Amino acid sequence: MKKNDLLDEISQRMASLLPMAEELSTDAKSKLSQTLKRALADMDILSREEFDAQAGALRRAEQRIDDLEASLARLETAMAPDSDS
């Protein structure tokens, strides 16, 4: 068998295997994706949207706490007996 004939045969065989390899690759990616989604669901991980919503709620709560602490400090100052009396 000539060198060119051998190379032609190898390239034809590889070309015939590519569709099967692509199908296997797609199937493997699909199964991997499903397994990963199941594992993440079992871990009870938040989605990005849920995380952003919770982070926003936390920022609002922290701001409200800061506002209430400032109001309390003003009220305490206003109610404190004058030290000059």
Residue 43 DSSP class:
T
The predicted structure's pLDDT at residue 84: 54
Give yes or no: residues 64 and 38 share one domain: no
Tell me which residue range forms the domain holding 3: 1-45
Give yes or no: residues 52 and 40 share one domain: no
Give yes or no: residues 14 and 31 share one domain: yes
pTM assigned to the model: 0.47
Give yes or no: residues 38 and 1 share one domain: yes
* Six token digits for residue 9: 């045969």
Only one residue has tokens 């990616």, namely 29
Burial letters for 11-32: b for 16+ Cβ neighbours within 10 Å, e otherwise? eeeeeeeeeeeeeeeeeeeeee
Give yes or no: residues 23 and 36 share one domain: yes
Q: pLDDT tens for residues 23-82?
A: 777 777 788 778 877 876 778 777 889 999 999 999 999 999 999 999 999 999 999 887
Give yes or no: residues 50 and 21 share one domain: no
* Six token digits for residue 85: 């009396």
Give yes or no: residues 58 and 41 share one domain: no
Q: 9: pLDDT confidence band, cut at 50, 70 and 90? A: confident
Q: Which residues contact 67 (CB under 8 A, 6 or more apart)?
A: none
The predicted structure's pLDDT at residue 19: 74
Give yes or no: residues 15 and 30 share one domain: yes
Q: 83: pLDDT confidence band, cut at 50, 70 and 90? A: low
